[in-house]
């Protein structure tokens, strides 16, 4: 358990540091005065002044920040965040999430390079007495959609099956150059009750790796992860998922530990998923998040004048308080799930 906790902390620290480093680098390149670069939240455990910027480590490793002059209040400093061009401010705001997405993509490139071949969506062969073959799927079929959702990489098939209750899905396949709809492709189940899972009873074709192939596959894999994050958030908003389905750093300790035990590739796949998740979540147009700040900048670009920094700062402060409350609720829920 201790090892899992330390490993999870390390993962989140690296992701947070790189996120804030994105803001920091973009701010410095844009000429913005950065007052403090901090890892963690709460009271400062360590501070070091270097040039015009204070670098600090805070007591609680649950976040971090890059504090810029004029970020949440008016400032007469010509290098203040509020006094530079809107376009430069947009770059600074987006840089953190972009850093997370780039990190996720680079990790996936590394994992893909370690694969013996590049997997495709083309059916290669079936297991004995395969139910999918009996219900219409054939060798050579290129799976294009499952239940109406496009299949970008082979893992998308598994993602769609996880959400399916009866094991019967609609597939759209490319067969002999023509799109064919298979209305009831049936998957068998393994196990019973809560341990029941669908069996993928076919193998897919593998392709020889090339530089272009690795980069393309990794991009589609990253896009697939990003789509999964958006779909999960949409399920939460629409009520198809609940707060009980959310996990924070505490809940992730078990998952990170299990991934590490499975192997290096599984561990880094999970890290890629987490960092892409963090990047996309930060782009949501909510107060205190990068997406919320971006929304205010878009309003300023349309109006031709900014919202008063004090008002924007108040909105972000309220949003930050609600975000901390959500983190506390998720953390408490994670603890209860661990001790059950």
> Considering Cα of 124, then 129, then 132, then 136, what sign does the dihedral take?
positive
User: Which residues are 204's β-sheet partners?
Assistant: 123
Told to judge if 192 belongs to the known catalytic residues of this protein, a careful annotator would answer: no
Exposed/middle/buried for 239, CB within 10 Å: 0-12, 13-18, 19+?
Answer: exposed
Q: What's 167's DSSP letter?
A: S
Nearest in space to 139 (alpha carbons), one of 152, 121, 157, 124: 124
- What is the DSSP secondary structure assignment for residue 79, as one 8-state letter? T
Contacts 24+ apart (CB under 8 A), 291-298: 291/97, 292/316, 292/319, 293/93, 294/90, 294/93, 294/94, 297/86, 297/89, 297/90, 297/93
Judging by DSSP bridges, how do beta strands 178-186 and 168-175 pair with one another?
antiparallel
Helix (H, G, I), strand (E, B) or coil at 190: strand
- Residue 11 — φ and ψ, nearest 5°? -60, -50
Q: Is 284 buried (19+), middle (13-18) or exposed (0-12) by CB count in 10 A?
A: middle
Cβ contacts of 191 within 8 Å, gap of 6 or more: 197
| Euclidean distance between CA atoms 155 and 258, whole angstroms | 19
Length of the chain: 340
* 3-state SS assignment for residue 297: helix
Q: Which of 20, 71, 154, 172 is catalytic?
A: 20
Helices then strands, counting H and E runs in the chain, come out as 9, 10
Q: Which of the residues are catalytic?
A: 20
């Amino acid at each position: 358990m201790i090892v899992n906790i330390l490993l999870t902390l390390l993962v989140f620290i690296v992701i947070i540091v790189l996120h804030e480093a994105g803001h920091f680098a973009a701010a410095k390149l844009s000429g913005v005065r950065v007052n403090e670069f901090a890892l963690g939240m709460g009271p400062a455990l360590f501070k070091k002044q270097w040039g015009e910027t204070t670098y600090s480590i805070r007591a609680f490793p649950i976040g971090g920040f890059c504090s810029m002059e004029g970020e949440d209040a008016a400032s007469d400093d010509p290098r203040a965040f509020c006094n530079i061009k809107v376009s430069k401010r947009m770059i600074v705001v987006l840089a953190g999430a972009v850093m997370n997405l780039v990190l996720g993509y680079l990790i996936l490139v590394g994992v893909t390079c370690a694969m013996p071949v590049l997997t495709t969506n083309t059916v290669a062969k079936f297991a004995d007495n395969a139910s999918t073959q009996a219900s219409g799927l054939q060798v050579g079929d290129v799976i294009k959609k499952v239940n109406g959702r496009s299949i970008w990489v082979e893992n998308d098939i598994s993602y769609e099956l996880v959400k399916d209750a009866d094991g019967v899905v609609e597939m759209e396949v490319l067969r002999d150059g023509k799109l064919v709809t298979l209305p009831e492709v049936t998957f068998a189940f393994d196990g019973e009750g809560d341990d029941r899972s669908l069996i993928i009873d076919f193998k897919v074709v593998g392709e020889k790796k090339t530089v272009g192939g690795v980069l393309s596959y990794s991009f589609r894999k990253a896009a697939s992860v990003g789509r999964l994050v958006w779909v999960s958030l949409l399920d939460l908003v629409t009520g198809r998922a609940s707060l009980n389905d959310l996990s924070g750093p505490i809940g992730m300790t078990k998952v990170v530990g299990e991934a590490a035990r499975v192997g290096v590739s599984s561990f880094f796949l999970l890290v890629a998923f987490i960092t892409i998740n963090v990047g996309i979540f930060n782009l949501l147009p909510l107060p205190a998040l990068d997406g919320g700040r971006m929304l205010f900048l878009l309003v300023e670009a349309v109006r031709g004048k900014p919202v008063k920094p004090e008002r924007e700062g108040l909105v972000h402060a309220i949003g930050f308080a609600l975000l901390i409350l959500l983190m506390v609720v998720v953390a408490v829920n994670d603890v209860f799930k661990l001790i059950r």
